[in-house]
Structure 1
Amino acid sequence: MKIAMIGQKGIPSRAGGIEIHVEEISKRLVYLGYEVEVYCRRGYCDKEFSDNKYQGITVKYTPYIKSKHLDSITHTFTSTIRALFSNCDIFHYHALGPSTMAFIPRLFGKKVVCTVHGLDWQRGKWGKFASKYLKFGEYATAKFSHKTINVSKNLVKYYREKYNLETSYIPNGVERPDLVKPLIIKEKYNLGKDDYILFLARLVPEKGIHYLIDAFNRIKTEKKLVIAGGASHSEGYESELRKMAKENKNIIFTGFVKELELAELYSNAYFYVLPSDIEGLPISLLEAMSYGNCCLVSDIAENTDVIGSIGYSFKKANVDDLEKKLNMLLENKSKVLKVRDLAAQYILNKYNWDQISINTKHIYMEIMGTKKKITDKWRLGNDGKRHTIN
């Protein structure tokens, strides 16, 4: 059976959570016996492959018009057409915008799955027309697909109430990382263990970074605030953030980070903050917890469902409450250490890529009319091989 993954910018890439999600489930689906084609945009991938193969996945580059509003939809269209000529059996669309094209493979009798990673029309970077188009994408995920997957329980509830539709809950996942010492970040930013509070995600308005800078500017502390991440068609917002922080020498913008520098930032933070107004299921939060970080998050359901009782929250968009909670954790290291001891194992048990991939396989089997088979418990090892768990 051949699967087409459409909607992501590309793999391997840390451009966003969708790219990580697609890469992790695709390489596992290959080990589960599927042919997987991932459709990519040149320029967004961390590397390209001359033989178009990456960990058993077929990587295909299709053309697109590079602009804020046409980038995704033109790439989705060309990818859909190419996947039709490639005789893919299942077209798996990711996100609302790309899902607007889901009717095309249906016209040709193909099976369609749509994964909703968040209600993108709510995001502040989009204008009126783009927001309306993304709302149509939401409709398409409910009406054009044979099966709709949501990455959060709150989204499952939303689709049940709005569309009277029972969708499948399959979240994002996370892998166990190696903790590393602060070498690169010591040289570049003079940061050591526990010297800083970390925000790490895209610099877009819905992430609430402006609340965090506002609250941090009110606090007296020797610790730094590290804001790690790049803009995503949101350069104006990034400029506003830098203006808010220009008088505070303890606020550091790193830009986009990856690989060892990324690992060092996660490994050595005092605690991690995610002050979002909107989320699907934030992979950066899963990653922060997998490194054993204490996390402080806004109290939206998508965040609090992740941390459970292993972490702290503040009232969404409430700078006063955020300031209060930041001070509490800065003044009470015991509260931070208590969560650190529990966070990693808790999140690794709760959000497991191997099980997520098996659940995705069962969706494919269901829409293809194939009976589910008992699957051996297994994991994908660091050596890239499949290992049976006794």
Structure 2
Amino acid sequence: MKIAIVGTRGIPNHYGGFEQFADFLSQGLVQKGHDITVYSSKNHPYKESDYNGVKILHKYDPEDKIGTAGQFIYDLLCMADARKRGFDIIYLLGYTSSSVWQRILIKKSIVVTNMDGLEWMRSKYSKQVQRFLKYAEKLATKYSDHLVADSIGIQSYLKKTYNAESFYIPYGSHVFSEPNKEDLIAYGVTAYNYDILIARFEPENNIEMILEAFSKSSTSRKLLLIGNFKHTDFGIRMARLYGEDTRICFLGPIYNQVALNNLRYFSNLYYHGHSVGGTNPSLLEAMGSSSLICYHNNDFNRTIVGNDGFPFDNYNGLKEIIEGKRKEDFFHFLTENIEKIKNIYSWQRIVDRYEDYFLSIIPKS
């Protein structure tokens, strides 16, 4: 198959979930003998035209000059180029800034859209932007030939809201099996004497609830917050409100995957407050790194973790978890979550499912 992946800032991953997904999926499909192209921003630090057998096409991206509007220009340039190259499938990751251009792809290739999460519900957006994102979501369901949902919750939402059928394929992850306590030294913590949160600093990730509950708890553990808190006004406010608590450490972003895995592995509790979206990659990574998961109680998270973690709905319930749960008492949760990664969410299984799915939607000659 000849497939283009559009909608990310490019690979190798230097940004986030969709980039990481494109990184693994594209390489996995190349290893199976397929011709895969990933569109990449001209601003991406990797400038080569090949990445482990994946073709890279760099396109002009003015986001650094004009802000969010630049994403629409970048997506337009990618999609206009893709329609000329005879791809069997054009796989769009997300719809935020691409669905308005989907009509130019009609009858040129099979267009598949990964519907991501409920972007229009993100509180960081103004009401006007939220209305546009809801419109963009509707356009994606109308002009895509096929839809992929990365969670059962999103699949149900698409059916209920638009009577749109979608194919469920979640994200993938790996099992981390080579822990090394030496990586903890740089962060001033010791095994199981700290909790951890890894997220973008946005209100819908329930970071403020987690910080409030932790700051008012009696625990002597530290809390490591990993993410670029200086990137948003919300993050800056959180650091100002809670940064004086000596237990709470705002570390900023960490891009070393091995260090992140070790920090997850040796943490006591891992907080996952995401409330908008589908299968979040960071949640699967935490499960694969033997984290004891404390998650916001919603359909998306509950479908993945279920009874093998601690759901929270409010400040009081979360405070009780913080003060009462020790990892050493719940190793059976870790074992069950590792089995999920091996049997449901391994990257090999996800790549296999994508190959089967793509092959099934290409007309037989």
**Smaller-chain TM-score bracket:** over 0.9
Conserved? CA contact 1:170–1:356, under 8 Å: yes
1:279 matched to 2:273: no
Conserved? CA contact 2:268–2:291, under 8 Å: yes
Equivalent residues in 2 for 1:294-373 (5 A)? 294-315=292-313, 318-329=314-325, 332-370=326-364
> Which secondary structure does the structure 1 equivalent of 2:249 belong to?
strand
Unaligned segments of structure 2, at least 5 residues: none
| Corresponding residue to 1:216 among 214, 217, 220 | 214
2:243 — aligned with what? 246
Do the aligned partners of residues 137 and 110 (structure 1) sit closer, same or farther apart at CA in structure 2, a change above 3 Å counting?
A: same
Structure 2 length-normalised TM: 0.93
CA distance, structure 1, for counterparts of residue 336 and residue 86 of structure 2? 47
Unaligned segments of structure 1, at least 5 residues: 372-390
Structure 1, residues 9-33: CA drift from partner, whole Å, max 9, x if none? 2111152211111111111111223
Shift of 1:321: 1.4
Shift of 1:286: 0.4
Equivalent residues in 2 for 1:50-69 (5 A)? 50=48, 52-66=49-63, 67-69=66-68
1:156 — aligned with what? 155
> Which secondary structure does the structure 2 equivalent of 1:61 belong to?
strand
Do the aligned partners of residues 149 and 80 (structure 1) sit closer, same or farther apart at CA in structure 2, a change above 3 Å counting?
A: same
Conserved? CA contact 1:271–1:336, under 8 Å: no
Aligned AA (1:256): P
1:78 matched to 2:62: no
Conserved? CA contact 2:220–2:247, under 8 Å: yes
1:147 — aligned with what? 146
CA RMSD of aligned residues (A): 1.9
Aligned AA (1:162): T
Structure 1 length-normalised TM: 0.87
2:233 — aligned with what? 236
Conserved? CA contact 1:69–1:130, under 8 Å: no
1:293 — aligned with what? 291
Aligned AA (1:75): Y
Conserved? CA contact 2:229–2:236, under 8 Å: no
Structure 1, residues 159-210: CA drift from partner, whole Å, max 9, x if none? 11111122110110111224332334412x2112112101012222221111
Conserved? CA contact 2:275–2:300, under 8 Å: no
> Which secondary structure does the structure 1 equivalent of 2:201 belong to?
coil
Conserved? CA contact 2:119–2:277, under 8 Å: no
Q: Percent of counterpart pairs with the same letter?
A: 24
Aligned AA (2:129): A
Do the aligned partners of residues 18 and 231 (structure 1) sit closer, same or farther apart at CA in structure 2, a change above 3 Å counting?
A: farther
CA distance, structure 2, for counterparts of residue 135 and residue 42 of structure 1? 29
Equivalent residues in 2 for 1:14-29 (5 A)? 14-29=14-29
| Corresponding residue to 2:253 among 251, 256, 269 | 256
Q: Which moved more, 1:152-161 or 1:251-260?
A: 251-260
Shift of 1:120: 0.8
CA distance, structure 2, for counterparts of residue 236 and residue 289 of structure 1? 30
CA distance, structure 1, for counterparts of residue 283 and residue 327 of structure 2? 20
1:199 matched to 2:193: no
CA distance, structure 1, for counterparts of residue 118 and residue 14 of structure 2? 20
CA distance, structure 1, for counterparts of residue 101 and residue 255 of structure 2? 32
Structure 1, residues 345-366: CA drift from partner, whole Å, max 9, x if none? 2332221222222222233223
CA distance, structure 2, for counterparts of residue 249 and residue 294 of structure 1? 23
CA distance, structure 2, for counterparts of residue 285 and residue 147 of structure 1? 26
CA distance, structure 2, for counterparts of residue 80 and residue 249 of structure 1? 49
CA distance, structure 1, for counterparts of residue 204 and residue 67 of structure 2? 17
Structure 1, residues 291-330: CA drift from partner, whole Å, max 9, x if none? 1111010111110111122111111xx111111222221x
Shift of 1:64: 1.6
Structure 1, residues 129-168: CA drift from partner, whole Å, max 9, x if none? 3222211221122111110000000111111111112211
Q: Which structure 1 residue ranges, 4+ long, deviate > 4 Å from structure 2? A: none
Conserved? CA contact 1:179–1:263, under 8 Å: no
Conserved? CA contact 2:270–2:291, under 8 Å: yes
